Amino acid sequence: EAGVAQSPRYKIIEKRQSVAFWCNPISGHATLYWYQQILGQGPKLLIQFQNNGVVDDSQLPKDRFSAERLKGVDSTLKIQPAKLEDSAVYLCASSETGETQYFGPGTRLLVL
């Protein structure tokens, strides 16, 4: 069974530029999560989807971050414009039961 796929794996941008991350969850998993993990910290949930609907986006900085999950499968997370403090690893996870989450390898973002 294929795992959660994410791309790109690494991205370097200048502040005020925009960037987008892509995630393909495990087939059949209805719930999809995006996390931000700053160096030395645990992952922080940004947004949770159930199929193509948003369940929780309370910690998503909506003035610059946006996410969508079209057709309830793939998802994209966008940052526009990026700030220095957005440098982090962005993790995507999916879940079938809503309990155990399966994580992708993450996208490491560096904002200069």
Partner 1 sequence: SQQGEEDPQALSIQEGENATMNCSYKTSINNLQWYRQNSGRGLVHLILIRSNEREKHSGRLRVTLDTSKKSSSLLITASRAADTASYFCATDFNFGNEKLTFGTGTRLTIIP
Binding to partner 1 (CB under 8 A) within 84-103 occurs at: 91, 93, 95, 98-103
- Using CB under 8 A as the binding rule, the residues of this chain from 37 to 76 that contact partner 1 are 41-45, 48, 55-56
Q: How far is the CB of 62 from partner 1 (least distance, A)?
A: 18
Of 24, 31, 75, 94, which lies in the binding site for partner 1, with binding defined by CB under 8 A?
31
2 belongs to the binding site for partner 1 (CB under 8 A): no
Strands 88-95 and 107-111: antiparallel
The C-alpha atoms of residue 28 and residue 96 are separated, in whole angstroms, by: 7
**33 close to 92: Cβ distance less than 8 angstroms:** yes
Minimum CB separation of residue 105 from partner 1 in Å reads: 5
Q: Find how far residue 23's CA is from the centre of its chain.
A: 7
d(CA 87, CA 84): 6
Helices (H), the chain: none
Contact residues: partner 1, CB under 8 A: 4, 31, 35, 41-45, 48, 55-56, 91, 93, 95, 98-106
